[in-house]
Each structure stands twice: as C-alpha cells, then as structure tokens.
Amino acid sequence: MRLPTVADIERRIPRPDDFESRARGTALTARVGTALGICFAVCFATGMWSHFQYSTPGWLTLSPNPTQLYRWTQGLHIASGTAAIPLLLVKLWSVFPRLFNRPAAGARGLVVEVLERASIAALMGSTFFMLASGTLNIIGWYPWEFSFRRTHEAVAWVAIGSLVVHIGVKLPVIRTALGSPIEHPDEHLDPSAPTRRTVLRGAFAASGLAVLLTAGQSVPWLRKVSAFSVRPGDGPQDLPVNRTAAGAGTSETALDPAWRLEVTAGDRTVSLSRDELLAMPQSTHRLPIACVEGWSRSATWTGVPLRDLLALVGAEPDADVVVRSLQTKGAFGSSRVVGNVVEDGRTMLALSLNGEKLDIDHGYPARLIAPNRPGVFQTKWVNRLEVDA
Ligand SMILES: Nc1nc2c(c(=O)[nH]1)N[C@H]1C(S)=C(S)[C@@H](COP(=O)(O)O)O[C@H]1N2
Ligand SMILES: [Mo]
C-alpha cells in the first residue's frame, strides 16, 4: 500500500469554487461586514466608557449628569455586542470558502497569504473572545481565573486594532462591493436557492431578534418580550438583586441592632444609628441601578444626602468619599465617590426603596445610591464613609 503524497492530500482539500451557494460573495460580505463594523464601533466606544468609570483618565471628571447616561451606554454596549453575534456568524459563512484559497505561486505569494491569514486569525480570535466572554459575563458566569474586566479591555484593543487593519486592507473591495447591486441580474440562478438579499435580511432579522430577546433587561416595555433576559426584574421591592446578603456574608451583621454608620474625616468621627439617620432631613429621588452586566432598573430611593453627612464632620460638600460596607467576602465591598458626585443632592445613603424599608438584599440598613453610576459602585450594607483628605 502506498502512503498518500502531499499532492494527493492537496487534491482532496476542497477549493473555493467547490462551494456552490451563490448567496456567498463580497456583495453579501461587505454589507454584513458594514453592519458588524458599526456594532463593533459602538461596542468598543461604550466599553471604553465603562472602563473609565473604574479607572478614570486625568482628562475626564466623572459627572452625576446626565442621570441616565451610564444606563444608556451600558445598555448600548450589551445590545451592540448581542447584535454582532448573528452578523459575525453570517459573515464567516459568507467567506468560509476562502479558507481553501491556495496561495499564488512563489515565495512572495506565500508570504502575502501567511500575513493575511495571520491578521484574520488575530481578528477572529479576538472578536470571538470578546463576544464569548461578554456573553458569559451577562449571564453572570465567570469560569476563568483572570480578571474579566482587564482581559476584556486588553483584548478589545487587539480586536479594534486588527479590525482597523482589516478594513484598511479590504477598503477597495468593500467600496466596489457596496457600490454595485447586491444581486446580479445576469447570473443564471437556481430559483429555489436563497438569494443574497434573503440571506442579508435573515442576518439583520436574527440580529434584531437577539437584541429584542435580551433588551428587556434594561428597557421596561420590552420586559415581557425578552425571553432571554437574565434578570427580568424579579427581586424584593421590584428590583433585581445581584449579590444577596447571604452571598456577601452580611445576613447577620446587617441585622445587628448595634449597627452604626461611622463618618470620618481626618481625626473627626461621627457615629449614627439608623434611627438617627431617619431623623435627619430625608430626600427622595428616582434613580436607576445600571449593572455593568447589562440589566438596569429605576426605583424610588429615600435617604440622607451624602453631603449632609459630610457636613457633620466638617468636610467640604465636594470631597471624595470612600464608602465601606459590612461585606467580608468577594469583590465590590467598597467604592469611591468623586467630589462632583458627592456634591449632587441626589447622591444619598438610601434607607428606603419604593416607599418601603430597604430589603436586606438591597443593602439594609443603608446603601449608597448616586446618579449616573455603574451598579457595582452602588455599595450595599454601608457602615463607613471615609472622607479622603
Ligand atoms: N456591598 C456590595 N454592594 C453591592 C454589590 C456587592 O457585591 N457588594 N453588588 C453591586 C452590583 S454589581 C449591583 S448591579 C448592585 C445591585 O443592586 P441591587 O441588588 O440592590 O439591585 O449592587 C451593587 N452593590
Ligand atoms: Mo452589577
């Protein structure tokens, strides 16, 4: 028996022309690609905006206004990422036969082919990672060891960089494809096969449907439509809960009658019971919780403005404040509020929610709530405010 030669194997690998679906081709790829490019651009911009909330660059001062800004940017981030998934799959299907391209003869042809394939591999690997890790994050599953946020950010730069290179290289092809009609009337076609236009419409419809099925987690009137919403809004007091008191290890400490809020600035400390906080002038505001994982929901909060608490220790109303909590396990047990946000009268230590005493899973005895702030920083079970000198 003779072993197959390289030439035998090569003969068995399909060639681009062996794939017959006429719906494929640059006319389709360029159109789906344009939609995908728009989704990636929105996703990248809103994602960077979200990273700035964690590590704020020097040129940016976080503002409490517009109140709903973070809710919108993060909602768009999740919607554009979700919309990208069906588009990416259709785009890959439309270029799949090109995987079997043979390089042009000669060393130069080989080098060009290798470079092009390496750049596409970087683009594919990074976009796959972004969409997959983002989706797992939305469903609240972290099966990895690395920091989601830092890795998702670092790979985003690889993705956007390789995307820009890809668009740059393909620009002439994209221009020609977008400039000519999607169907060619002179093609002799099998009338039973789907047309390019059908595939394109299908891709857009699948993408729109994916958004519709998930957007109810931020858009109230879509709540009933959104079968895939991870947190449709069930939770005590009509608000979803990300981490329960049991999960954060605060079930007992939060109910301890000896609980006090400590407010410190330098060597001055004031200690207040919940009744003493309730005896202070209360404010009521409607503000959203906008979770980085995608869901958001407005609620009516009542409590004491942070700046009034700072006044008790003689601190400026626009000082930075570190908010600490009873939480002993896991992340997000504390957060920092910048002076601009502290100064806003709607930034409060909330004591009640939707007209009722704050539920323990929403942060009883007291939780932070501030306008235009990611949910992770709306610290629950607060027991200490430290004014940053
Ligand atoms: N102490 C503490 N506060 C916390 C968290 C936490 O894990 N620990 N989770 C945050 C996150 S991720 C969100 S989205 C909101 C959710 O608030 P809710 O459960 O009151 O709706 O609480 C925030 N506050
Ligand atoms: Mo969150």
- Which pLDDT belongs to residue 188? 54
- Which pLDDT belongs to residue 123? 96
Lowest mean pLDDT among 77-86, 146-155, 221-230, 365-374: 221-230
Arithmetic mean of pLDDT over the chain: 93
Protein residue whose Cα sits closest to atom 12 of ligand 1:
376
Q: Is the pTM for the entire model greater than 0.85?
A: yes
Lowest mean pLDDT among 200-214, 294-308, 327-341: 327-341
Q: Is the pLDDT of residue 191 over 80?
A: no
Protein residue whose Cα sits closest to atom 24 of ligand 1:
379
Residues 148 and 137 sit within 8 Å (Cβ to Cβ): yes
Q: Which atom of ligand 1 is nearest to the CA of 382?
A: 1
Pairing of strands 382-387, 261-265: parallel
Residues 375 and 292 sit within 8 Å (Cβ to Cβ): yes
CATH domain 14-222 topology: Fumarate Reductase Cytochrome B subunit (1.20.950)
Q: Is the pLDDT of residue 232 over 60?
A: no
| Tens-digit pLDDT profile for residues 149-184 | 999 999 999 999 999 999 999 999 999 999 999 987
Residues with CB under 6 A from ligand 1: 239-243, 248, 289, 291, 325, 327, 332-333, 362-363, 375-376, 378-381
| Tens-digit pLDDT profile for residues 243-290 | 999 999 999 999 999 999 999 999 999 999 999 999 999 999 999 999
Rounded-to-integer distance, Cα 149 and Cα 130, Å: 11
The full set of domain ranges for the chain reads 14-222, 245-387
CATH domain 245-387 topology: Sulfite Oxidase; Chain A, domain 2 (3.90.420)
**Residues for the chain: how many in total?**
389
Counting ligands in written order, which one lies closest to the CA of residue 381?
Answer: 1
CA distances from 159 to 30, 124, 135, 223 (A): 18, 8, 16, 32
Distant-in-sequence, close-in-space partners of 259: CB < 8 Å, separation ≥ 6: 253, 273, 274, 326, 365, 383
Lowest mean pLDDT among 50-64, 131-145, 261-275: 131-145
Residue of 78, 234, 357, 376 with the most ligand 1 atoms within 8 Å of its CB, for mutation: 376
- Whether the bond into 240 is cis, omega within 30 of 0: no
- Which pLDDT belongs to residue 144? 85
Counting ligands in written order, which one lies closest to the CA of residue 323?
Answer: 1
Residues 369 and 348 sit within 8 Å (Cβ to Cβ): yes
The average pLDDT across 19-24 equals 84
DSSP states of 297-322: EEEEEEEEEHHHHHHHTT--TT--EE
